[in-house]
Amino acid sequence: MEKNIHFKLNGKDVRLTSSPERMLLWVLRSDLEHTGTKYSCGEGFCGACTVLVNNEAVLSCQYPIQDVSGKEVMTIEGLQQNGKLHPLQTAFMQHNALQCGFCTPGMIMGAYSLLLRNPQPSSREIVEDLEGYLCRCGSYNRIIPAIQTAARTMKGQRS
């Protein structure tokens, strides 16, 4: 049975009719044509589909659309503000913390959620928090300092 579902996507209202058990990933990627969020393992083992729901990182391939009703969803497309890159995006570029770039949107959203909870994470805390995020190209060693660089920039912006 289809239901009307209403939520915010990157600050904009979205209303759609969908069967409630469909996963957020597919609604984002096919119904809403937000393709920045990636499909990779499809079973919650890799982190590539990570988005934020009410500022918490969730695996959108495992997250039913009915659960976003009335909530705020943020995807990689929502990270730039007025065309200005987020410090995490800049830092990933600066550190070349990516190769093929397929895991990057999920990785950045995971890091974003970490920095909300822990604005100055240690390397160890980053490793523990992002353990479920896979990068087959092996950019882990660059992602860690990239997140720390972003954390410093964001601290500077707040103060």
Partner 1 sequence: MKDDEYIPFNEEKGTESIKLDRREFLKLLGGGIIISFSVGDLFALQQRRRGSGYPEDFNAYLRIGEDGRISCFTGKIEMGQGIITSLAQMLAEELDVSLNKVDMVMGDTALCPWDAGTFGSRSTKYFGPPLRQAAAEARAVMIQLAAEHLRTSEENLISKDGMILMRKKPKIKVSYAQLAKGKKIERHLEKKPQIKHYSKHTISGKPADRSDGRQKVTGEAKFAGDIRLPGMLFARILRPPAHGANLKNVDTSDAERMKDIQIIRDNDMIAVLHKHRDVADKALGLIKAQFEPSTSKLDNTTIFNHLKDTASDGSVVTEAGNLDEGKSQAGKTFDKAYFNHYVAHAPTENHTAVVKIEGDKATVWASTQAPFRAQGEIARVLGFPSQNVRVITPFVGCGFGGKNQGPQIVEAARLAKLSGKPVQVAWSRKEEFFYDTFRPAAVIEIKSGLNSSNQIVFWEYHNYFAGSRSSQPFYNIPHHRVLSYGGWGGRGGGGSPHPFGVGAWRGPGSNTNVFAIESHVDVMAEAAGMDPLEFRLHNLTDDRMKRVLRAAAKKFGHSFSKAPSGKGYGIACTDYLGTYLATMAEVNVDKRTGEIRVDRVVCAQDTGEVINPEGVRMQIEGCIIMGLGYCLTEEIRFKDGRILDENFDTYEIPRFSWLPKMETVLVDNPEMPPQGCGEPAITSMGAVIANAVYDAIGVRLFVLPMTPARLIEALNKEQNVTGDKNRSIPLPTIS
Q: Which residues bind partner 1 (CB under 8 A)?
A: 22-23, 25-26, 29-31, 33, 35-43, 45-46, 48, 75-77, 79-80, 85, 88-90, 92-94, 96, 98-105, 108, 126-128, 130-144
Q: Minimal distance in Å, beta carbon 145 to partner 1?
A: 12
Nearer to partner 1, 14 or 132 (CB): 132
Considering the complex, what minimum distance in angstroms separates the CB of residue 36 from partner 1? 2
Q: Record the tokens describing residue 6, joined without a space.
A: 């209403």
Question: CB-hemisphere CA count at 13 Å for 117?
Answer: 14
Residue 56: partners with Cβ closer than 8 Å, 6 or more residues away: 113
Kindly state the smallest distance separating residue 13's Cβ from partner 1, in Å.
21
* 7 or 133: CB nearest partner 1: 133
Nearer CB in complex with partner 1: 101/119: 101
To partner 1, the closest distance from the beta carbon of 39 in angstroms equals: 7
Nearest to residue 116, comparing CAs of 59, 25, 48, 52?
Answer: 52
Whole-number CA gyration radius for the chain? 16
Distance CA 82, CA 39 (A): 27
Nearer to partner 1, 69 or 123 (CB): 123
- Is residue 71 a contact partner of residue 8, using CB atoms and an 8 Å limit? yes
